[in-house]
Amino acid sequence: MRALRRRLDSKTYADIVRRWDAFLAQPPAGDVAATNASRPIIAVVRKRLRRRCRSVVHLGTQLPAEADDQQLHALRIACKKLRYVLELFGSLFPGKKTTILVKHLRTLQDNLGRGHDLFVQQEALRHFATTLSQPGQQTHSSLQAIDSLMHRLEEEKQTVSQAFPALFAAFAARIGRGAEPYG
């Protein structure tokens, strides 16, 4: 506690506070980002949410029936960005609609995240199998174990993939006309 008190009473700290106050007292420079400074935050957030929702719905509806891991990961990232905005500014949109939308989004993200985790695990096992397959390695049983794990991961990945369409449809239905909590 004494060390903290000494730091707060130091000239260095006083100088930091003085410079910070001076910085905050300055008018903003002609920054492009300042163009939205006079707009109400709710208007800026609504626009951002519409854009993020459209992006997620577009990515999800454009996925082929056998979407690859890269496409699903791109959708997962888009969902994550949307959820950040919703959770950060959710208090601007109180009510059940926002809560339900976040719940559907979280479930969708969990599904996409699980699928991505399985993909990463499979890639690691492929790498191990390649490493173990080098000449001079006595690894038949290890390769059999990896093959068995790969098979099990693929089965689980199929289960996750089969659940995706219903989860995405439930989320997209929340975004449908009139369901936007931010509208």
Give the single-character DSSP code of 36: G
Give the range among 95-109, 132-146, 158-172 with minimum mean pLDDT. Answer: 132-146
Question: Binning pLDDT at 50, 70 and 90, where does residue 90 land?
Answer: confident
Q: Under CATH, which number does the domain 33-175 receive?
A: 1.40.20.10
Distances in Å between the alpha carbon of 138 and those of 17, 123, 124, 125, 126? 66, 22, 20, 17, 17
Q: What is the pLDDT of residue 183?
A: 57
How large is the average pLDDT for residues 138-166?
90
% of the chain at pLDDT higher than 70: 89
Q: Round to whole Å and give the CA distance between 93 and 102.
A: 12
3-state secondary structure the chain: CHHHHHHHCCHHHHHHHHHHHHHHHCCCCCCHHHHHCCCCHHHHHHHHHHHHHHHHHHHHHCCCCCCCHHHHHHHHHHHHHHHHHHHHHHHHCCCHHHHHHHHHHHHHHHHHHHHHHHHHHHHHHHHHHHHHCCCCCCCHHHHHHHHHHHHHHHHHHHHHHHHHHHHHHHHHHHHCCCCCCCC
Residue 123 DSSP SS3: helix
What is the domain partition of the chain in residue ranges? 33-175
pLDDT of residue 130: 87
Chain segment 30-53, per-residue pLDDT in tens: 666 667 678 898 998 999 999 999
